[in-house]
Amino acid sequence: MVLTLPGKSRSAARTETTLRIIAPIAVGILVLVGWQFLVSVIGVSDYLLPSPAAIVEEFIEFFPSMVSATLITGWNALLGLIIGSILGILLAAIAAGWRPIDHMSAPVVASLAVIPIVALAPVLNSMFGADSQFGRQAIAGLASFVPVFINTLRGFRQTLPVHRDLMKVYAASSAQIVRTVTLPTAVPFVFTGIRIASSLAVISALVAEYFGGPRGGLGGLISTSAASSAYARAWAYVVASIVLGLVFFLATLALERLATRGRRRS
Amino acid sequence: MTQVPEPQPTDSSATPTRSADAVVVRGVDKTFDTRSGQVQALTAIGLTVSAGEFVSLIGPSGCGKSTLMRLIADLDQPTAGSVTVFGKTASRARLDQDYGIAFQQAGLLPWRTVAANVGLPLELHGATSRDRNARIEELLDMVGLSDFADRYPDQLSGGMQQRVAIARSLAEKPDLLLMDEPFGALDEMTRERMQTELLRICAETGAAVVFVTHSIPEAVYLSDRVVVMSPRPGRIQQIVPMALTRDPEHAEALREDRAFFDGVTAVREALHTGSPVPTGARGVENR
């Protein structure tokens, strides 16, 4: 399906796209150059702020460890995101269909939403033992559940009165109404929820590693490196976590676009 | 508002012969329960629409014209009185898909293409995809949107979206069309073109139409009879028959015809009964 943008010439659109890609890259390079300048010319000491060159060096030297750490944390986050999203969507569907469930779940969801990861992580880590990743996955799942649930529930309530009237006019069955109107109306909301949850899942999986449990994930290695004064290496792991977060965000954004293609985006 | 349980379709092997009247409304009252007490929306409504007849409901906001249409469509139930559509109860007629409907909002599903929107009622009622595609093509041709079958609603103008909605309302070749201000959100130029197109489509299909509007010229231009309603409580003030000779070749010329202006004056006077008609009536209201 090819969609052409109306009212915009092709070349103008291309220039705009190029600009959109080049502008942030240029800003990024400028910041890096400024940073390097601060460290190597002005002489900010290494433990305060390692130079980009030193961070890149560490990144390359510890590359296999970077990859394995990213995979461990990424897997925890992904598992949490998937399970949290599925639970969120299912519970939202039930809450949308049945008012009492909605009223019962509202305070529970509200309290889940305000649980600080830092509070829960040590508890879960000791609950499931020092060599289990389960605690982190559970925390990522919990963090993902909330935005997915809230957005999905909102999505299920967005059905327009005119669409409801139409379905009644067509004497459509409940299953037909859900399939042709309720679900498609909710889809963009569900995917917005998942996109928000994706960043939260990565952050929670990573932060949960600071509080004990098996090392080897990005969070664990960041704290270990920092504790052993290997600041450049700690920063290199931070770079890896940024990459991981971006991958999650872009993947879910692509999913959202795919699910809402053909509709106007605001 | 009490929800009347929907009667299950009874398999009447003998198809009831179409009664001559598309809609018969008898002694209908409608009250809504609101927070601030009961609101009398309609009182003592009696109206008959013959098969193939074009009837407009006109009146100020709050006169219950949309409510009356919703009662005919079985989207709401009357508090008292009866509504009969082709000799059946309104709910039976709805379950049998005896009417097509178009609202002020086009109400298209934005995730479906134009063709899939037009085919929605056919799809819901289990038409085979071959029959469906043939019918969709026919309908899009009728409303002049054949080239837009694969577009999404958001890519169309308001007028085009409304034409898609009208095509959808005609999908199952209904003998009755219910239209609630379908052109209300359109600009004057588009509106006049759509009115002419609607008359052409009605002539082609022979369907009866109940058309809700608040525009006097629109009602006069389209209708065989104009039902003038007044508010608080909503009731029928007067039914004004139109005496326009319709000639499809010169549909536009009718707008400047003597009979057209006479019709406008008659409806205006009916609307203003009880309150004096402003003199120096330069203005035929445009909308």
pLDDT tens by residue, B106-160: 888 888 888 888 888 888 888 788 888 888 888 888 777 888 888 888 888 888 8
Pairwise CB contact (< 8 Å): B75 & A165: yes
What tokens were used for B227?
Answer: 């039902």
Cα–Cα distance between A191 and A249 in angstroms, integer?
12
Q: Are residues B76 and B218 in the same domain?
A: yes
Collect all residues of chain A within an 8 Å Cβ-Cβ radius of residue B75: 165, 168-169
Number of residues that this document lists for chain A: 266
> Rounded to 5 degrees, what are φ and ψ at B248?
-55, -25
> Measured between CB atoms, which of B107, B120, B152 is closest to A262?
B152
Q: Is residue B284 part of a domain?
A: no
> Measured between CB atoms, which of B105, B111, B125 is closest to A263?
B111
Pairwise CB contact (< 8 Å): B107 & A6: no
Q: Are residues B92 and B112 in the same domain?
A: no
Q: Is residue B226 part of a domain?
A: yes
SS3 A241: helix
Pairwise CB contact (< 8 Å): B152 & A171: no
Q: Are residues B142 and B190 in the same domain?
A: no
Pairwise CB contact (< 8 Å): A180 & B109: yes
- Give the residue carrying structure tokens 């010329």: B253
Q: How far is A155 from chain B (nearest CA, A)?
A: 14
Show the CA angle centred on residue A139, arms to residues A136 and A144, nearest 5°. Answer: 125
Domains in chain A, ordered, with CATH?
Answer: 58-259 (1.10.3720.10)
Per-residue pLDDT at B265 exceeds 70:
yes
Q: Are residues B140 and B42 in the same domain?
A: no
Per-residue pLDDT at B97 exceeds 70:
yes
SS3 A186: helix
Per-residue pLDDT at B171 exceeds 90:
no
Q: Is residue B11 part of a domain?
A: no
- Report whether A125 contacts A135 (CB < 8 A): yes
Collect all residues of chain A within an 8 Å Cβ-Cβ radius of residue B152: 262-263
- Report whether A72 contacts A206 (CB < 8 A): no
CA nearest to A195, candidates A147, A250, A252? A252
Per-residue pLDDT at A115 exceeds 60:
yes
Cα–Cα distance between B36 and A34 in angstroms, integer?
67
Give me the CATH number covering residue B70. Answer: 3.40.50.300
Let me know how many helices (H) and strands (E) chain A has, helices first.
Answer: 11, 0
Pairwise CB contact (< 8 Å): A263 & B152: yes
Angle between helices A63-97 and A134-156 (to 10 degrees): 40
> Measured between CB atoms, which of B94, B111, B113 is closest to A171?
B94
- Report whether A165 contacts B103 (CB < 8 A): yes
> Is residue B250 very low, low, confident or very high in pLDDT (cuts 50, 70, 90)?
low
Q: Is residue B30 part of a domain?
A: yes
Cα–Cα distance between B257 and B255 in angstroms, integer?
6
Residues of A with CB under 8 A from a CB of B: 6, 160, 162-163, 165-166, 168-172, 176, 180-181, 184, 187, 260, 262-264
Q: Are residues B138 and B32 in the same domain?
A: no
Each residue's pLDDT tens digit, B266-275: 778 777 874 5
* Count of the separate structural domains present in chain B: 2
- Give the residue carrying structure tokens 């043939």: B134
Average pLDDT, chain A: 83
Cα–Cα distance between B167 and B159 in angstroms, integer?
12
> What is residue A266's predicted lDDT score, i.e. its pLDDT?
40
* Chain B residue whose CA is closest to A172: B124
Q: Are residues B94 and B190 in the same domain?
A: yes
SS3 A79: helix
Q: Are residues B140 and B248 in the same domain?
A: no
Tell me whether B131 touches chain A (CB under 8 Å). no
ipTM of the complex: 0.76
Q: Is residue B153 part of a domain?
A: yes
Q: How far is CA B111 from CA A158, B23, B96, B189, B272, in A?
A: 14, 35, 27, 29, 45
Tell me whether B47 touches chain A (CB under 8 Å). no
> What is residue A79's predicted lDDT score, i.e. its pLDDT?
93
Pairwise CB contact (< 8 Å): B109 & A264: no
* Chain B residue whose CA is closest to A7: B155
- Report whether B121 contacts B171 (CB < 8 A): yes
Collect all residues of chain A within an 8 Å Cβ-Cβ radius of residue B105: 160, 162
Each residue's pLDDT tens digit, A1-32: 445 445 556 677 778 888 888 888 888 888 88
Q: Is residue B144 part of a domain?
A: yes
Residue range A40-59: average pLDDT? 78
Q: Are residues B88 and B28 in the same domain?
A: yes
Handedness of CA A135, A136, A142, A148 (dihedral sign): negative
Each residue's pLDDT tens digit, B195-225: 888 888 888 888 889 999 888 888 888 888 8
* A-B contacts at Cβ under 8 angstroms: 50
Domain carrying residue B70: 21-98+185-274
What's the one-letter identity of residue A263? R
Q: Are residues B61 and B114 in the same domain?
A: no
Collect all residues of chain A within an 8 Å Cβ-Cβ radius of residue B124: 170, 172, 176, 180
User: H/E/C letters for each residue in chain B?
Assistant: CCCCCCCCCCCCCCCCCCCCEEEEEEEEEEEEEECCEEEEEEEEEEEEEECCCEEEEECCCCCCHHHHHHHHCCCCCCCEEEEEECCEEHHHHHHCCCEEEECCCCCCCCCCCHHHHHCHHHHHCCCCHHHHHHHHHHHHHHCCCHHHCCCCHHHCCHHHHHHHHHHHHCCCCCCEEEEECCCCCCCHHHHHHHHHHHHHHHHHHCCEEEEEECCHHHHHHHCCEEEEEECCCEEEEEEEECCCCCCHHHCCHHHHCHHHHHHHHHHHHHHCCCCCCCCCCCCCCCC
Tell me whether B135 touches chain A (CB under 8 Å). no
Collect all residues of chain A within an 8 Å Cβ-Cβ radius of residue B127: none
What tokens were used for A137?
Answer: 């996955």
Tell me whether B157 touches chain A (CB under 8 Å). no
Q: How far is CA B42 from CA A167, B66, B93, B237, B250, in A?
A: 25, 11, 22, 12, 38
Q: Are residues B154 and B224 in the same domain?
A: no
> Is residue B249 very low, low, confident or very high in pLDDT (cuts 50, 70, 90)?
low
Average pLDDT, chain B: 78
> What is residue A157's predicted lDDT score, i.e. its pLDDT?
87
Cα–Cα distance between B104 and B106 in angstroms, integer?
6
> Rounded to 5 degrees, what are φ and ψ at A156?
-70, -20
* Chain A residue whose CA is closest to B93: A169
* B86 Cα distance to chain centroid: 16
Q: How far is B144 from chain A (nearest CA, A)?
A: 21
Per-residue pLDDT at A82 exceeds 90:
yes
CA dihedral B78, B84, B90, B93 (to 10 degrees): -170
In chain A, what percentage of residues exceed pLDDT 70? 93
Q: Is residue B36 part of a domain?
A: yes
Each residue's pLDDT tens digit, A130-172: 677 888 888 889 889 989 998 999 888 888 888 888 888 888 8
Q: Are residues B61 and B134 in the same domain?
A: no
Per-residue pLDDT at A187 exceeds 60:
yes
Query: Reading across the β-sheet that carries B235-241, which strands appear in turn?
Result: B99-102, B176-180, B208-213, B54-58, B225-230, B235-241
Q: Are residues B125 and B263 in the same domain?
A: no
Q: Is residue B124 part of a domain?
A: yes
* Chain B residue whose CA is closest to A169: B94
Q: How far is B95 from chain A (nearest CA, A)?
A: 6
Residue A183, number of CB atoms within 10 A of its CB: 16
Cα–Cα distance between A141 and A87 in angstroms, integer?
9
